[in-house]
Amino acid sequence: MSEYKTRYKAYSAWNYENEIEELNKLSEDGWQLVKAGNYHSKFVKNPDIRYRYQLDYGNIEDMGRYIETFREQGWEYINSTYNHWHYFRKVYDPSLPASSYEIFTDRESLKEMTGRWAKTAFVMSAVIGLMALIYLIMLIRMPQILYLLLFLTLGIESAVLFRGALIMNDPDANRNRKGDTKFLYVFLIVLVLGCAGIITTSALHTHVYSTQQAGSMDSPKTDEVWNTFTVRLPDYYYLDLDIGSVSPVTVTIVDEDEETVFTKTSTDFHVENMRLPLSRGEYKLLLSASSGFKVTFALD
């Protein structure tokens, strides 16, 4: 019965030569690649054979012809990942020169392959960088934890992709960078923590929307509790308030200690994105009005 193992490890695209070296070393130790993945690969134990591995990158339209072209050159196709990396191997014969185990035998063919990935990475870096810039502008205009996390996460991702694209765009670059493996894991951890922070912040952030109105014959209201809400995430919040009335209307926000956080009295008032620093706790929205009014309150 065959013995299998799954190996969990991530590689950066611009460090693909390090992955090739490790696949070759595993083959020497008797572990032969069965299926490659971006973050994990499956191996079978077979010490009776030894392979040399190679990777290629590209969005191939005619996979049948593509695989056949490599087969004609002695390369066995293993599999492809969802992001268009293709894995090949050839039985190792120590009597053959090292060039027999290279799929890119000249500078131009290597440049074409690395250039394909670099082009994709440059585009992705530019798009993600633009999104990061948009959130930076929003952060400057309306400081909030969510915008800060979005800016940092997208900005770091864009910078890492841009760095990788520069390396891959140079066919003479030293892509076999041992330290890049640790760098990649740090990047993935930052990315995961950033995404988790964004999701958590979005879930905890308080959103309130409410409208009150009354006709001229309705009874007056004095510090009537209009709404209550809970702030679970201390942050800057932004208030939109519209008041329209024939007589003065007072809108007040008080915290759980009955201290006034915000108050406004007016017959005609409109404000958007008024910044309110709110702490964690319970809040009440109070309304005082005579009659004939409409008030719209939104907090985000």
Distance, CA of 254 to CA of 282 (rounded, Å): 9
Contact 43, 31 (CB under 8 A): yes
Distance, CA of 102 to CA of 119 (rounded, Å): 23
Question: Which residue, 117, 187, 181, is CA-closest to 159?
Answer: 187
* Residue 98 neighbours by CB under 8 Å, 6+ apart: none
Mean pLDDT of successive 10-residue segments in the chain (300 residues)?
A: 87 86 95 92 95 92 92 94 93 89 77 88 95 96 94 93 87 63 79 92 94 74 89 96 92 94 95 95 93 91
Tokens 């502008």 label which residue? 137
pLDDT of residue 220: 77
AA letter at 78: I
- Span 208-299: which CATH code? 2.60.120.380
Contact 287, 244 (CB under 8 A): no
pLDDT of residue 200: 94
Q: Where are the domains of the chain?
A: 4-103, 108-204, 208-299
Question: Which residue, 252, 254, 251, 231, is CA-closest to 300?
Answer: 231
* Residue 170 neighbours by CB under 8 Å, 6+ apart: 114
Q: Is 230 exposed, middle or buried (0-12, 13-18, 19+ CB in 10 A)?
A: exposed
Q: Tokens representing 227?
A: 């709404």
pLDDT of residue 121: 92
* Residue 256 neighbours by CB under 8 Å, 6+ apart: 281, 282, 283
Q: Tokens representing 38?
A: 């971006």
Distance, CA of 157 to CA of 193 (rounded, Å): 13
Contact 12, 191 (CB under 8 A): no
pLDDT of residue 100: 87
Contact 50, 92 (CB under 8 A): yes
pLDDT of residue 146: 93
- Output the pTM of the full model: 0.78
Nearest 5°: the CA angle 88, 91, 92 is 115
In the chain, the N- to C-terminal Cα span, in Å, equals 61
Distance, CA of 101 to CA of 188 (rounded, Å): 32
